[in-house]
Structure 1
């Protein structure tokens, strides 16, 4: 249940309880007041009847002497002296009684119908019922309005926070929440904005440091490469040149990650046939994987970045998996699968991490670069493990704009 309906339900419940409490209070107070007034009036009438009886010796005002229908409890109370009155329920309806003892020891009583008072109380109960219904309806309506407003503000805040999480650090949650009220939602939005600004500054500093270090390493690395070319041929020279090549690739990868982190990279779009493109690019690898094209599709994408993603996925399959490596093309969807142990649990749960190395060596930036380049292309790159006979599966889904060829067309 959403927060909106929780608030509505809570206000409706409180409104119901308040309406019930007020209605019961008014009902019982009015009933008590009615009974008290009826007893007082019946007592006054009986005293007048007693005066008539003392003067004429005959009961007056419809009073009766030693009425056999008089309740025993009232008869006993009258015999103790004074005037007693009570309201009772009889098969003929509600009755108000009054009784007292005469000087001769007899019991003089007076009985009247209590039904008019009950009719008045029923009319009051109907009014109370309509008032309670109006109160509940008003409270529920107010709950819907209040809950909808708060829920809408929180949804806007959540959407803005999601955009921040996706890298749009210019988004401000407080602007998305809106309103001038200084309530908890506004305080939450301000706290998220402050956290976003602090995180943005920290990430920017880290990216700048990473880019600066990688850039500064290029100059000495160029010198090392030149010096290595001047060394005499031999085993030691080959080892030095190999380590320099690894270092050069690492520096280039770090610079590429730094550029992708800035979220300013833009693709240079061209129309390409995905199946033909993948087949030709894969054929250049020394360990050529198997390519299967189920459906050919023409998409507008950046060939250089797509080739980079494809190369990293295939290289990762050979370095950390086992042959055979199969590349399947189905329209704008490219699936790369090996038959090794599969992706680690942390990759499946959190995605690729920088410098997270597998058993096949490398410096752990290949999948990170692939994800970053896919993001620039507007594509979706997902990682799973095959259930049948094991192996890691990476699926790249290229965006298809309206008017382009779709699978099966």
Structure 2
């Protein structure tokens, strides 16, 4: 649910609750006042008409007397019923008188009650008639006559219904106004939020100059100011890191190129020493072989560093050629003397850089032979428009914590390994060469044990 919708729903809920509470309370109070006033008026009018009947004759009432009483108290809009000693007279339907009202009147009280009659609301008022001076010491006594008056409650009901309609109309109008105000408020609140979102998106895309305009003095202004200061600090740190990274890359590139010339001379000398190691005495021969081996390792490290700087600077390029992939892989294995199992069907042709494919395969197979266990296998097949080369060993595999970092530069799974066992750049260079071709290089563990590296390259060359 969007923030705008949540704000609108909140405004709508508040407005509906407020409108219902205010309009409902006003409606209830007005309705009660109207009903009470109407009931009081009806009771007073009925009482006044009854008082006009006094003094009552002391003799027991007959049907004619009850008819006269009912006719005088009924009024122009209603009907009446007079009862005494089981005799009833009048135009009022006795069925509308409830037992509760009869009991209340029989106890000597004036009672009234709203009833439903012919689909509308009517008011029934009942009371007893008393005979003045008929009781002990001249007090009034019960005459045995009960009078009930039925009068319509239609006008009051219409007023109450009109109040209800007005309450609903006011509530609906309040809801519409609240939604409009909520929409305006949401626009005002969401405008800086949208600006923050856009600036954060630009910042995430690498635009370190993204900032938010600061207006007003509310909480969102504080958020915008904090965002701007954070973005400025981030820009400063990122630019500083980029400068330091560029300096480091330039230093590595410069040192690597400067080392090539003395290394070339050292390599020539160590080659001569290597040819004479057999004739040198024990310690001297061991030293000569050590120098030769370390010179080769240093040469390989310098070449790897130069290759890495080409990837970082974006100057690495492909020299594409249509080749038989199996022939390139077999040439790599023969040239380095790798003894592995192969499943390399001929006729699989692809457009790629054979020198970089040679580097990838050599690094993968060399890594498997050094850190895995024989037998090491190399397989080739095609899947759709991709060729797949798999290099697997039968060792203990890669630890789970190693897998995410296996292609990181200078990463070594075993921290105890000596520097002569590899520079830590071989797999990183293989991964970069795969990426340069528009392919992928992944590492995993086989279910039966051992690590497996899978190279996937497009047959038609880099996109």
Q: TM-score, normalised by structure 2?
A: 0.63
2:66 corresponds to:
none
Q: Which moved more, 1:151-160 or 1:361-370?
A: 151-160
- Partner residue of 2:14 out of 18, 23, 31: 18
Give 1:310 shift. Answer: 1.5
Give 1:377 shift. Answer: 1.9
Give 1:323 shift. Answer: 1.8
Deviations 1:215-272 (A, max 9, x none): 4444554554455467674312121121121122122222222322234423232233
- Partner residue of 1:338 out of 388, 393, 402: 393
User: How is 1:170-209 mapped onto 2 (pairs within 5 angstroms)?
Assistant: 171-172=206-207, 187=227, 190=231, 196-209=238-251
1:248 corresponds to:
299
Give 1:327 shift. Answer: 1.5
- Partner residue of 1:372 out of 427, 432, 445: 432
1:317 corresponds to:
368
**Contact 1:154–1:185, Cα closer than 8 Å, also in 2:** no
Q: Which has the higher contact order (CA 8 A, sep 6+)?
A: 1
Give 1:378 shift. Answer: 1.8
Q: Which moved more, 1:223-232 or 1:246-255?
A: 223-232
Residues paired across the two proteins, number = 381
Deviations 1:287-327 (A, max 9, x none): 23233236854433222222211211111111111122222
Q: Distance in 2 between matches of 1:35 and 1:250?
A: 97
Asked which structure has the greater CA Rg, the reply is 2
**Contact 1:293–1:329, Cα closer than 8 Å, also in 2:** yes
2:89 corresponds to:
none
| Distance change in 2, residues 1:348/1:79 (3 Å) | farther
**Contact 2:12–2:179, Cα closer than 8 Å, also in 1:** no
Q: Distance in 2 between matches of 1:381 and 1:185?
A: 43
Aligned to 1:378, what secondary structure does the other structure show? coil
**Contact 2:115–2:123, Cα closer than 8 Å, also in 1:** no
Q: TM-score, normalised by structure 1?
A: 0.70
In structure 2, the gaps of 5 or more residues are 55-71, 83-95, 131-139, 141-145
Aligned to 2:359, what secondary structure does the other structure show? helix
In structure 1, the gaps of 5 or more residues are 165-170, 405-409
| Distance change in 2, residues 1:217/1:94 (3 Å) | farther
Q: Which moved more, 1:276-285 or 1:95-104?
A: 95-104
| Distance change in 2, residues 1:299/1:174 (3 Å) | farther
Give 1:160 shift. Answer: 7.8
Give 1:393 shift. Answer: 0.9
| Distance change in 2, residues 1:224/1:279 (3 Å) | closer
**Contact 2:437–2:461, Cα closer than 8 Å, also in 1:** no
Give 1:363 shift. Answer: 2.3
Q: Distance in 1 between matches of 2:235 and 2:120?
A: 71
1:257 corresponds to:
308
Q: CA RMSD in A?
A: 5.0
**Contact 1:272–1:299, Cα closer than 8 Å, also in 2:** yes
| Distance change in 2, residues 1:89/1:109 (3 Å) | closer
Q: Distance in 2 between matches of 1:229 and 1:279?
A: 27
2:91 corresponds to:
none
Aligned to 1:346, what secondary structure does the other structure show? coil
Deviations 1:347-383 (A, max 9, x none): 3234422222356722221111111222222211111
